[in-house]
């Protein structure tokens, strides 16, 4: 998926006769990072991709839609594709065929067992997040506190609050994450 997204970024940038330097200036991302994204070497977070989309004058959904496919409303369990695999020990799957005009980005995350119970560094970004634990014990670090979430537990918060999650157990943790990037948030 990283390669598909990266090639779309590069193709769109070239069609607009924009250099990597110009895209870098518009997004505040380094030229090296943008080059790695275009080559599919580096994964890009949804909020970062939203910033790239804005700089290129397209909706975020542009990078996730496949114009050759017929629009499907149902995603079968055997059709879901791995979206991202992180060195931090998690696998992320998109839970939709068509992000299109949708505001939410639903994902299934499988968090591998962690050999360390050291707290992870928190981060913040624009948007809103919802988490629902399906299996295992998820440790959520949010706003300076750590809380264990068990199957059936959920959390809903503004992404600007410093947060992160980890698996401090020797078993797999599965949870749903629904992200609404800031570019989609409706202002009251």
Quick one: pLDDT band at residue 188, thresholds 50, 70, 90?
Answer: very low
Q: Is the pLDDT of residue 79 over 80?
A: no
Q: Which domains does the chain have, with CATH numbers?
A: 2-63 (1.10.260.40), 77-180 (2.60.120.10)
Average pLDDT, integer, range 58-75: 68
Query: In angstroms, rounded to a whole number, what is the distance separating the alpha carbons of residues 70 and 166?
Result: 37
Q: Is the pLDDT of residue 134 over 70?
A: yes
Q: Is the pLDDT of residue 57 over 80?
A: yes
**In this structure, are residues 140 and 103 in contact, taking their beta carbons and an 8 Å threshold?**
no
**What is the pLDDT, as a whole number, of residue 12?**
86
pLDDT tens digit sequence for 9-56: 888 888 888 999 999 999 999 999 998 888 888 778 877 888 888 888
**What own/partner pairs with CB < 8 Å and gap ≥ 24 does 21-30 have?**
23/52, 23/55, 23/56, 26/55, 27/51, 27/52, 27/55
Tell me the CA distances in angstroms from 120 to 98, 109, 114, 116, 137, one per residue in order: 32, 17, 11, 10, 15
pLDDT tens digit sequence for 170-183: 999 999 999 887 65
Query: In angstroms, rounded to a whole number, what is the distance separating the alpha carbons of residues 75 and 64?
Result: 14
Number of C-beta neighbours around residue 139 at 10 A: 20
pLDDT tens digit sequence for 92-131: 888 887 666 667 888 899 988 875 666 678 888 888 999 9
More confident residue, 47 or 137: 137
Query: In angstroms, rounded to a whole number, what is the distance separating the alpha carbons of residues 85 and 106?
Result: 16
Residue for token pair 């988490």: 131
Query: In angstroms, rounded to a whole number, what is the distance separating the alpha carbons of residues 27 and 51?
Result: 6
Percent of the chain with pLDDT over 70: 81
């Amino acid at each position: 998926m990283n390669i598909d997204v990266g090639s779309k970024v590069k193709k769109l940038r070239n069609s607009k006769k924009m250099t990597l330097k110009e895209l870098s200036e518009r997004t505040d991302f380094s030229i090296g990072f943008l080059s790695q994204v275009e080559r599919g070497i580096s994964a890009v977070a949804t909020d970062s991709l939203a910033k790239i989309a804005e700089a290129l004058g397209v909706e975020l959904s542009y990078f996730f839609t496949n114009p050759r496919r017929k629009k499907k409303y149902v995603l079968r369990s055997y059709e879901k594709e791995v979206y991202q695999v992180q060195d931090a020990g998690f696998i992320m799957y998109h839970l939709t065929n068509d992000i299109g005009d949708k505001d939410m980005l639903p994902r299934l995350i499988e968090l591998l067992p962690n050999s360390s119970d050291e707290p992870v560094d928190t981060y913040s970004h624009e948007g809103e997040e919802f988490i629902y634990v399906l299996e295992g014990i998820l440790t959520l670090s949010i706003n300076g506190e750590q809380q264990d979430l068990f199957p059936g537990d959920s959390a809903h918060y503004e992404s600007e609050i410093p947060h992160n999650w980890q698996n401090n157990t020797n078993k797999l943790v599965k949870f749903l994450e629904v992200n609404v990037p800031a570019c989609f948030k409706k202002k009251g």
